Amino acid sequence: MREITYAEAIREALRQEMQRDPHVFLMGEDIGVYGGAFGVTLGLLEEFGPERVRDTPISEGVIAGAAAGAALTGMRPVAEIMFMDFTTLAMEQLVNQAAKTRYMFGGKAKVPMVLRTPAGSGTGAAAQHSQSLEAWFVHVPGLKVVMPSTPYDAKGLLISAIRDDNPVIFVEQKLLYRTKGPVPEEPYTVPLSVAEVKRAGRDVTIIATGVMVVRSLAAAAKLAQEGIEVEVVDPRTLKPYDAETITKSVIKTGRVLIVHEAYKTCGFGAEIAAMISEGPAFMYLNAPIRRLAGLDIPIPYNRTLEYHAVPQEENIITAVRELMAYK
């Protein structure tokens, strides 16, 4: 199978859904002429024209609000917020409007919109352009939250998100854009709310999101040389997440490490840890549940400090070894 980048996989999903459904259109800052801040939408303006690839003013509230309004009238907008940090300016439209409308109208109205947004650190973009705020949206009933880690998942999950009748926050970690992987040329879907075991193992379960899946897989490969077999589970959809797959893995291994880039306090990992401790997997644990997450500090501009602000491969290896010390 051919290999393409994560960014190319997202672009292909957008192109194929726009070709399939005339109700799908794109909107966001610099997505047209410029092709997006990270080049994801390059060429789509030339192919579909300015009616369906709309450059917007620099107003995140307008982008999210217009997307919600368009969705309510039968369109399927895919809006882009240039950096996830700027979703702070669109919380009213996303949290109070898009998330609640279907419920408040008893299912008679639907809001089939997708909000794509690049997130995370690693590019030297400093405190206001490097945050991972997915837990904010996981907390809100009515929103679905998706966070793919591979090009294959990025394409399949985005197509599923566009076809879904609910608002979906689609989180793209910036360091993943240039990663490559096998992706079919034809359209396909990856179902929402279904986790995937990215690597099978018997000793420790790592539950990781976004770029931490890549780092966890690299760490698992090195730990295998020591005789430690790590199972890596990627939730892929954070809301609603696949508790069954996670639970089965924890029962199998008896040790859990939850890894995410976002701040540790009230992060997505806390929800997973609580779910495990409250469920049937708890009785199978051979060690305390361990969370490895970003430090509770703004992301530094200094590249050395930035590196140490979020989990790296060596931190994952150390945490797994510590879990294995429990007998």
- Catalytic annotation, pick one of 129, 139, 260, 308: 129
Q: What is the DSSP string of 221-254?
A: HHHHTTT--EEEEE-SEEET--HHHHHHHHHHHS
Amino acid identity, residue 271? E
**Beta-carbon contacts of residue 254 (< 8 Å; ≥ 6 apart):** 284, 285, 286, 287
Cα 233 to Cα 93: distance, rounded to the nearest angstrom: 33
60, 89 contact by CB (below 8 A) = yes
Q: Is 23 a catalytic residue?
A: no
Cα 240 to Cα 19: distance, rounded to the nearest angstrom: 29
At residue 4, the 3 state secondary structure works out as strand
Q: How many CB atoms lie within 10 A of CB 233?
A: 27
Which of the residues are catalytic? 129
